[in-house]
Structure 1
Amino acid sequence: MSRDWRAAYEQVAVTVLDGAPAARPLLAGFNTCVDHVYRLEPPGLDRLTEAARTGRLGEPVNRLTPAAQAAHEPLAALSGEPLAALSGEVLRRILDGRDGEVFVPAPQLRPALDELLGPPAARQVGGTGAQAAWVLAVLNAPSVLALADRSTEQLAVLHPGIGLCDDGSVRPVAGTAARGTPIKPPHYILEYAAGTRWHAGTVRRSSRIIVRLAEDGIERDDTFAALGPTLAETAGAGLVSGLNGVPDADHAARAWLRDLAASWRASGLPWVHLELAEYPRPGALAEVSAAYAGIAHTLGLSLAELAIIRPGGDPAAAARELAEHYRFDRVFVHADTWSLVVHRGDPEPAAGALRIGNLLAASRARHGGPTADLGLDPTVTFTDDRPVGRPLGDGWRTECVPTPYLSRPAATIGLGDTFVAGVLLAGCLDVPLKPFVRLSPGDIP
């Protein structure tokens, strides 16, 4: 069985590498930022443990109540010691095997957090759209990114081949002049590896936690918006993401982005995709999904996010409920060891998009960043413990594909975004996705 999956992914690698340079462009946004990446080793975990006991990096204070955790309230609203609450929440997630995003609306914490964590291991671009554009640029596939922040710090972490809109045309980052100052604080990316031990516990799962200290808003790039209908005529797909960084009261920003996505669809863009994320307020996932009903063709989310919006039960059935309720043609769900899609079309292109997403994410996990080396690590495994591809009734069905899984990846940041990039690249390719032999009835690899 593993040999069959290896053969399938080797075939996918050839398709991607041959077809990417001729792909139609991806239009992407809208939450670009600078990520400060940290690898949490035992000394850093010990410092977090100490910070969880005191708000000053050195009297046990942990005022984050279970009820508040369940409500996903901003941590700074829950504790007079926000650094202690933040550190405690990070440690809880690591010990529970959970990842995701922690929002603390307290920019004043930045000096203390910098002192606690020390110098970052890397500075790189963050944000789903920017990460997806980075992945495609490494494969020589074109993309155009919405970007309002043209500061030196932001441009420095973007791949030079990503397209930006400037003076009514598209030019690469390498040909774009920097201007202005950074308009948002960096995001803190805390990565950790399964099996790491420190005095308070052992890391159960390799993953990452994103810490945000401010509501960033969206990259409201008016030049990008003005060119949007023209770009949509020749693009292959458009990615809408980053709404979790928009303050609830900023109705204008939400309307701007929704109108832009609607203009893409009206201009004939064949694929408008909405990618969800972790939101600090209950109900936001459902509200965002409802806002894009009839605008986005497809929805993407992680298994953890699916459990929030449709708790319990079979993930394929829950994804179908989302698709029907919010009028999406397809819903994609990515987990650690598999990904699935629910749809009402041809099974092979749907499963083929999953294979491309899985392969690009696995390659990034192996190398620690976006790469054109799509060979599989010798140690990858393919799980049999996954939802079964099958009909779901009323014309709906699901395909589920195992990921080439690494238990100790070189990096975990951006793997979900890389999966999204691969899924959308499938729609931008001008070459057909070759079918692969079925491994079992109703289960298409």
Structure 2
Amino acid sequence: MTANADWADLYRDLIADIPRIAGAAPLMLFGLSACVDARILAHELKPLFRHGAPAEAQAFGKLIKERAGAGIGGEVRIDWPEGPGWLAGHVPIAYALGGTGPQAAWSLAAIGAPALIALEDRSAHKLGQVHPDILIAENGKAIRAAEVIARGPRQPEIFIIEYTAGQAIDDVTPKRSSRIIVRFHDPGLEHDAQFEALSVTLADKAGAGLISGFNSIPYELIDSEVAPVTRMLAKWRKAGVAPIHLELAGYDTPRQRDRVIDQLTGFITSIGMSHSEFQPLMPDSSDLARDMCALGDRLGLERVCVHADHWAAAATRGDAETERQALMMGCLLAGTRASVGIPAYPKGIDARATFATPPLPAVTRHGDWSVVACASPYLEHPGGTVGLGDSFTGGCLLMLGSAHSRISARIPHGEHVKAG
């Protein structure tokens, strides 16, 4: 099933079912990163390339051109303390909500599904970017962001450089549209004690849990930062939350990435990443299906998900049809975001969307694993590239968590899976 019309019809059927899906959706628990994104269009970075620009600015411009020319997005840490101020004074900047959990929650809020996020920084600058229907823990209750009273100082932003296929950046013209996440500081996790306490209280009613943001922790702090997270996850698992998903993201070094995974092994049940993040994690990869299953076996997981521009795939020990619906909902919400530029309610499939043949069959069996793949509605010239993977993750967890909640509702009390 690879023709545009076939995939488009399947996605239209899914769109028609969104009111039912969102209306019956259980609460999602989404942490542990949140920030304000300072978004810059790469073709507007002309001041970086002008004669007399600071050496740091020129080096930054060179890095952006090299990555965009090679079609690389990802995340980088830049040692240029004056960078944020210099950029703010020389190029146009737009601000928006950032962080995997909040952006995934934003896509669910856009269709009317509930998600509680971790939010330590509750400044007016941060809250002003949060969708009003996203839930935040406040005084022991989950309340709408619109009802939270702003407080505290403004925190530094994370910079997002978006580049578009065919749109020149100085003397380089990218062939692919993507974004580069740039950190001029290490924000760490959101230490939201109210989220931690309330998420544990509500865990028996939650459909799925999402954690992310560990790539912004310096190596020497990983163990101390992860320890309270694993204590919280153990309580989530004891209450029956499934899946508990780690969205991996890009790390400064393999050592940092591997330490995070090692510390979280045994507490998460699912892991997801872009194809460009999967490749260095499995450097000898030659068979995507086999290697996803091997990674799942190595980490003791129930699910491994890999997403790319044109397709998404997952190895699961669960139901293959549920996973197919999860991948498609993820691709639908991401595709809608690419079309509109921000998370939005899907009203149809963009007429410009194309559907490529996935690198794997729709469903195959590999021992006790099912490997599932689908095509995504791809736009060569999207309205935005920020947060597409986050919207994808939110859509997947919506479907997986909803399916798990329906099953759990039929299990007598006390038979939930216990923490490992």
Whether the 8 Å contact between 1:105 and 1:215 is mirrored in structure 2 is no
One of 131, 144, 149 as aligned partner of 1:159: 131
Whether the 8 Å contact between 2:358 and 2:373 is mirrored in structure 1 is no
The Cα of 1:198 is off from its aligned counterpart by: 4.8
The Cα of 1:317 is off from its aligned counterpart by: 2.2
Match of 2:147 in 1: 175
Match of 1:280 in 2: 252
The one-letter amino acid paired with 1:341 is: A
Match of 1:101 in 2: 75
The Cα of 1:385 is off from its aligned counterpart by: 5.1
The Cα of 1:39 is off from its aligned counterpart by: 1.9
* Alignment partners' CA distance in 1, 2:173 and 2:292: 33
Match of 2:12 in 1: 10
* Cα distance change of structure 1 residues 373 and 181 upon mapping to structure 2, 3 Å threshold: same
The Cα of 1:226 is off from its aligned counterpart by: 1.6
* Alignment partners' CA distance in 2, 1:414 and 1:278: 14
What do the CA deviations read for 1:212-270 (whole angstroms, capped 9, x no partner)? 11000111111111222211110101101111112222233221222212221122212
* Alignment partners' CA distance in 2, 1:429 and 1:266: 18
Whether the 8 Å contact between 1:102 and 1:209 is mirrored in structure 2 is yes
TM-score normalised by L of structure 2: 0.91
Structure 2 counterparts to residues 316-355 of structure 1, below 5 A:
316-355=289-328
Match of 1:235 in 2: 206
Whether the 8 Å contact between 1:32 and 1:147 is mirrored in structure 2 is yes
Match of 1:61 in 2: none
Structure 2 counterparts to residues 285-434 of structure 1, below 5 A:
285-311=257-283, 312-384=285-357, 386-391=359-364, 393-429=366-402
* Alignment partners' CA distance in 2, 1:45 and 1:209: 13
The one-letter amino acid paired with 2:35 is: C
* Cα distance change of structure 1 residues 185 and 407 upon mapping to structure 2, 3 Å threshold: same
More moved, 274-283 vs 382-391: 382-391
RMSD: 1.9
The one-letter amino acid paired with 2:72 is: R
Whether the 8 Å contact between 2:340 and 2:384 is mirrored in structure 1 is yes
* Alignment partners' CA distance in 1, 2:158 and 2:317: 38
Structure 2 counterparts to residues 250-265 of structure 1, below 5 A:
250=221, 251-265=223-237
Match of 1:219 in 2: 190
* Alignment partners' CA distance in 2, 1:378 and 1:401: 19
* Alignment partners' CA distance in 1, 2:112 and 2:299: 34
Q: Structure 2: where are the runs of 5+ without partners?
A: 407-420
* Alignment partners' CA distance in 2, 1:152 and 1:135: 21
Match of 1:125 in 2: 97
Whether the 8 Å contact between 1:32 and 1:130 is mirrored in structure 2 is yes
* Alignment partners' CA distance in 2, 1:114 and 1:126: 18
How many residues get paired? 401
Matched, 1:47 2:47: yes
TM-score normalised by L of structure 1: 0.86
The percent of aligned pairs where both chains have the same amino acid is: 35
* Alignment partners' CA distance in 1, 2:71 and 2:325: 30
* Alignment partners' CA distance in 2, 1:324 and 1:82: 44
* Alignment partners' CA distance in 2, 1:111 and 1:316: 45
* Alignment partners' CA distance in 2, 1:428 and 1:239: 11
More moved, 316-325 vs 295-304: 316-325
* Cα distance change of structure 1 residues 201 and 270 upon mapping to structure 2, 3 Å threshold: closer
The one-letter amino acid paired with 2:275 is: L
